[in-house]
Chain A
Amino acid sequence: MSGFSPAFLSSTSNSFVELARSVAPETLPIGEGRHLAEQVPEGTTIICFRTASGILMAGDRRATIGNMIASHSMEKVRAADDFSVIGIAGTAGVALDLIRLFQLELEHYEKIEGARLSLHGKANRLASMLRGNLGLAMQGLTVVPMFAGVDDSTPAGQIFSFDVTGGKYEEHRFHAIGSGSGYARGALKKLWQPALDPEAAVTVAVEALFDASDDDSATGGPDFVRRIAPTICTVDLESGVQEIDTATTLAVAAEVVERRTRKAQS
Chain B
Amino acid sequence: MSQAPFYVSPEQLMKDRADFARKGIARGRSVVVLRYDQGILLLAENPSPTLHKIAEIYDRIGFAAVGKYNEFETLRQAGVRYADLRGYSYHRTDVTARGLTNAYAQTLAGVFTTESKPFEVELVVAELGLTPETDQLYRLSYDGSVIDESEHVAIGGQADAITASLKGLATSALTLGEVVDHGVRALAAATSGPLPTSDLEAAILDRTAVGHRTFKRLDDAAIAALRED
Residues of A whose CB lies within 8 Å of any CB of B are: 1-4, 7-9, 11, 16, 19-20, 23-24, 27, 100-101, 104, 107-108, 111-112, 114
Asked if B104 is at the interface (CB within 8 A of a chain A CB), the reply is yes
Chain A contacts of B74 at CB under 8 A? 9
Are the CB atoms of B88 and A16 closer together than 8 Å? yes
- Give 5 closest A-B pairs by Cβ, nearest first: A3-B106, A3-B107, A1-B110, A8-B78, A8-B81
Q: Which residue of A lies closest to B100 (CB)?
A: A4
- We find that the number of chain B residues with CB closer than 8 angstroms to chain A is 28
A58 to chain B, nearest CB (A): 20
User: Which of B78, B84, B108 interacts with A107 by CB under 8 Å?
Assistant: B84
List 6 A–B pairs whose Cβ atoms lie within 8 Å, in order of A's numbering: A3-B102, A4-B103, A19-B81, A23-B81, A27-B85, A114-B52
Are the CB atoms of A3 and B84 closer together than 8 Å? no
Are the CB atoms of B110 and A23 closer together than 8 Å? no
Known: A9-B74, A11-B81. A20 touches B88 (CB 8 A): yes
Are the CB atoms of A27 and B89 closer together than 8 Å? yes
B95 to chain A, nearest CB (A): 12
- Beyond the given A8-B82, A20-B85, please list 19 additional residue pairs across the A-B interface where CB-CB is below 8 A: A1-B106, A1-B107, A1-B110, A1-B114, A3-B106, A3-B108, A3-B110, A4-B107, A8-B81, A9-B74, A9-B75, A16-B84, A23-B85, A24-B85, A27-B89, A101-B88, A104-B88, A107-B213, A114-B52
Residues of B whose CB lies within 8 Å of any CB of A are: 50, 52, 55-57, 74-75, 77-78, 80-82, 84-85, 87-89, 102-110, 114, 213
Chain B contacts of A4 at CB under 8 A? 78, 81-82, 103-104, 106-107
Chain A contacts of B105 at CB under 8 A? 3
* Most chain B beta-carbon neighbours within 10 Å: one of A3, A11, A19, A24: A3
Are the CB atoms of A100 and B56 closer together than 8 Å? no
- Assembly CA distance A151 to B74 (angstroms): 29
Are the CB atoms of B82 and A104 closer together than 8 Å? no
Are the CB atoms of A104 and B84 closer together than 8 Å? yes
Chain A contacts of B110 at CB under 8 A? 1-3
Chain B contacts of A16 at CB under 8 A? 84-85, 88
B86 to chain A, nearest CB (A): 10
Chain B contacts of A1 at CB under 8 A? 106-107, 110, 114
Are the CB atoms of A3 and B103 closer together than 8 Å? yes
Are the CB atoms of B85 and A19 closer together than 8 Å? yes
User: Which of B56, B102, B108 interacts with A111 by CB under 8 Å?
Assistant: B56
Chain A contacts of B75 at CB under 8 A? 9
Are the CB atoms of A108 and B52 closer together than 8 Å? no
